[in-house]
Amino acid sequence: MPSCFADRLGGIIELTATEIEALTRLEERERTLRRNAPLLRENDRLGELFVLRSGMMMSCAILDNGSRQILRFLFPGDIIGAAALAYRHAPETVVALSESVVSPFDRSLLTQLTTEHPRLAAAMLALDQIERVMLTDRLAGLGRTSAKARVASILLEVRDRTQHLSARGGDAAFVLGLTQEEIGDATGLTAVHVNRMMRQLEEEGLIGREGGRVTLTNEAALRRAANYVDRTAGLDLGWLPPSR
C-alpha cells in the first residue's frame, strides 16, 4: 500500500523514510466511487481533504446560467478539496469520471505535518505553484486559442497524465474516458462543436479514433496545434529546507 501522494512528492524531491511514513498516514482510509458519483458538492461543508489513489475525477463549477465549467481533471496522487485549507464550504463540485478510489483525511493531519515536517510544507507550496501554472495555461487557452487547440490540449493532458503513471515513453493510443460533452465543459465549447473539432483533427491526420480509444498519429503536430507546454519540466526546488 504505497502512498500516492508520497509518490507525487517523491517525483519532485527526495523523501526520507520518516517523511514517507508521515505522508502514508494521509491514506489510511479508503473510499470507492462509481463513475458520475459526486465526492463534494459546491457549498458542502468541508473538513476533510482527499488523496486520489486511482481513477480519474474532475472538479467543476456550475454557473447560475446552468452551464458547467470543468476546472481541472484529477489524477492519482492529486489532492482533492484543498480549498478546505481556506474555506468552510466547498467552492466547487468534485465528481468521479471513472471508477475511483480516494483516501479521506482530516485537515488536522496537516496541522501536524506542517509543524513536524517543514520541508514537506514547503514542497506543498511548490506543488501548488506547479498546479497554479497549469491552471493559468488553461486560462490562456480558454481566452486566446481556437476551439481546435483547446480540444487538442485536452487530449494531450489526459494522455500525458494517465500514461506517465503506467508505461513510460507513452503509447500513442489510449482510452480517453470522457464524453464529448465533458470535453466541451472543459474547453468552454458545446458538445456539437467538440465533435466537429475531433473530426477535423482526425481528417488532418493528427489523431485516429475507434470506440473510446484515441491514437496520436502525429503527436508533434498535435502539440504544436495545442500550444502545449510541459510544466513538469524545468523544476528547481533548491530553496526547500532540509529534512526534519
Partner DNA sequence: CGCAAATTTGAACGTAGTCAACAAGTGTGG
Partner DNA sequence: CCACACTTGTTGACTACGTTCAAATTTGCG
Question: Which cell is 135 given?
Answer: 491552471
Separation of CA 134 from chain center: 10
Helix (H, G, I), strand (E, B) or coil at 88: coil
Does position 208 interact with DNA (CB under 7 A)? The reply is no
Categorise residue 117: left if φ over 0, alpha if ψ from -120 to 50, beta otherwise: beta
Q: For residue 180, what are the CA distances in angstroms to 34, 119, 184?
A: 19, 42, 6
Rounded Cα distance, 46 and 84, in Å: 6
Applying CB under 8 A, which part among 106-114, 160-168, 197-205, 211-219 lies near a copy of itself? 106-114
Applying CB under 8 A, which part among 93-101, 102-110, 166-174, 204-212 lies near a copy of itself? 102-110
Does position 10 interact with a copy of itself (CB under 8 A)? The reply is no
Nearest Cα neighbor of 137 from 162, 129, 60, 181 is: 129
Total residues at interface with DNA (CB under 7 A): 19
Q: Which of residues 113-142 bind a copy of itself (CB under 8 A)?
A: 114-115, 118, 121-122, 124-133, 135-140, 142
180 binds, among DNA, a copy of itself, none (CB under 5 to 8 A by kind): DNA
Cβ pair 226, 156 in contact under 8 A: yes
Interface pick for DNA out of 133, 191, 235, 237 (rule CB under 7 A): 191
CA max distance for the chain: 56
Q: Which of residues 147-166 bind DNA (CB under 7 A)?
A: 147-148
87 binds, among DNA, a copy of itself, none (CB under 5 to 8 A by kind): a copy of itself
Helix (H, G, I), strand (E, B) or coil at 48: strand
The residues of the shown chain that bind DNA, judged by CB under 7 A, are 146-148, 179-181, 188-193, 195-196, 198-199, 209, 211-212
Q: Which residues bind a copy of itself (CB under 8 A)?
A: 46, 61, 63-65, 67-69, 71-72, 82-89, 91-92, 107-108, 110-112, 114-115, 118, 121-122, 124-133, 135-140, 142-145, 185, 187-188, 227, 229, 231, 234-241
